Amino acid sequence: MTDSSIPKFHEKNREERIKIVESFAGLSKDDVKILKSNGGISFDEANHMVENVIGTLSFPLGIATNFKINGKDYLVPMVIEESSVVAAASKAAKLARKYGGFIMESDKSYSVGQVQVVDVDVKSAIPKVMKASDNILDLANSKSKTLSKMGKGAKEITCKELKTKSETMLIVEILIDVGDAMGANVTNTMCEGIAPLIEEITGGRALLRILSNYSTRRIVSGKAIFDKEEIGGEQVVDNILLAYEFAANDPYRAVTHNKGIMNGIIAVANSTGQDTRAIEAASHAYASKNGKYTSLTRWQKNKQGNLVGEIKIPMPVGIVGGIVNVHPMIKVCTKILGVKSAKELGCIIGAVGLAQNFSAIRALASEGIQKGHMKLHAKNIAISVGVPKSKMNEVVAKMIKEGNVSVTRANEILKEL
């Protein structure tokens, strides 16, 4: 199976859903066993990851259907606690298919490391560092044989003068092609590795030696077109554009608009074991890059009046190293995506962010967000109190009609029935 547009996936039971994913992604029997294991890691595994461990905590893993990205179909694993997100992504991806799905591209995976040099004469230090940049790069690359062997690794040294209240300091930046890794560790190792040489060259004192999470050299960008008729007509398109203008011009709205994008991005980042804080931090800084916090997406109409959405966002992700190689469920999720590179994963995550944003602003600019959201929420509540399939619609409809969607009410209705 290569088509990710699977009709009524949400109506299937767990067994059926897993069968579809198994056949789509060519999962092994062991992978399926892991999928059915509730996704856990053992206490011992957890205890090796962080400190003071007393247990583990699991989240729902859903599958977003319909995604076509750069001509390839994907079933996208999403780990998130919020209802509606997986459904919204799938719906947007379905609509985007009409004009070919999501067309995405990704920069190379360049990480930036920073060495802060203090107690230094910055003006005279900069040319010395630049003259020695080949030596500095060689030293940096000696710290990662793996990257060097692949023709990746440290590529460029730059310097900047930083005027502060305390003193004027020198910031030496090292640009590193980290390949398919997220690259935080190798970047930090290289920064620490080159610091003594930089001290020797500049006569200054290397203080901080750390990567920058402002990942402006690993940007993912892309777009999708949504047919005006399929999304409710010209008026809806125009309202979406007004909704976009609101986000583009008002930081209070932009933060919420971008939070909706993050619903998608972080859910896929979770399922594939990414450092979600790095993605969040970089994204919000990027949203403020022109001095005012604004939307990470852009929406406009094309000549035919169809809606065109674009996203541009830093994407520091990896498919090797860290938890990706350790956590059994994350390994299976990565296999479900079938990604061959960090760039490909970045494109998928960016596309899901754009899809999520489309669904949110389409709902907000038409019927409002609560209608669909409450329906799904009511269903989840009904399931949680054990409402059988035969009574599901009745219980959900009653809770929504009464405007009382709660565990208590679901229980009461169930008893009444």
Residue whose CB is less far from ligand MEV, 97 or 362: 362
* Interacting residues with ligand MEV (CB under 6 A): 82, 256-257, 259-260, 263, 360-361, 364, 369
Helix (H, G, I), strand (E, B) or coil at 326: coil
Q: Name residues whose C-beta falls within 8 Å of residue 17's C-beta, 6 or more positions apart in sequence.
A: 9, 63
Q: Write out the two tokens for 205.
A: 């004192």
Please say whether the beta carbons of 113 and 210 come within 8 A. yes
d(CA 243, CA 365): 7
- Name which of 404, 396, 343, 389 is nearest 69 in CA terms: 343
Residue whose CB is less far from ligand MEV, 174 or 243: 243
Minimum separation from the CB atom of position 255 to ligand MEV (A): 9
In which residue are the tokens 């990704």 written?
106
Residue whose CB is less far from ligand MEV, 285 or 369: 369
Q: Is 68 exposed, middle or buried (0-12, 13-18, 19+ CB in 10 A)?
A: buried
d(CA 179, CA 177): 6
Minimum separation from the CB atom of position 264 to ligand MEV (A): 10
Please say whether the beta carbons of 361 and 299 come within 8 A. yes
Minimum separation from the CB atom of position 82 to ligand MEV (A): 6
Helix (H, G, I), strand (E, B) or coil at 1: coil
Minimum separation from the CB atom of position 191 to ligand MEV (A): 36
Residue whose CB is less far from ligand MEV, 87 or 195: 87
Q: Name residues whose C-beta falls within 8 Å of residue 167's C-beta, 6 or more positions apart in sequence.
A: 118, 119
Q: Name residues whose C-beta falls within 8 Å of residue 312's C-beta, 6 or more positions apart in sequence.
A: 219, 220, 221, 286, 296, 298
The residue number with the shortest CB distance to ligand MEV is: 260
DSSP result, 180-235? TB--HHHHHHHHHHHHHHHHHHHSSEEEEEEEES--TTSEEEEEEEE-TTTTT-HH
Residue whose CB is less far from ligand MEV, 9 or 244: 244
By annotation, the residues acting in catalysis are: 82, 259, 275, 373
Residue whose CB is less far from ligand MEV, 111 or 356: 356
Minimum separation from the CB atom of position 361 to ligand MEV (A): 6
Minimum separation from the CB atom of position 390 to ligand MEV (A): 31
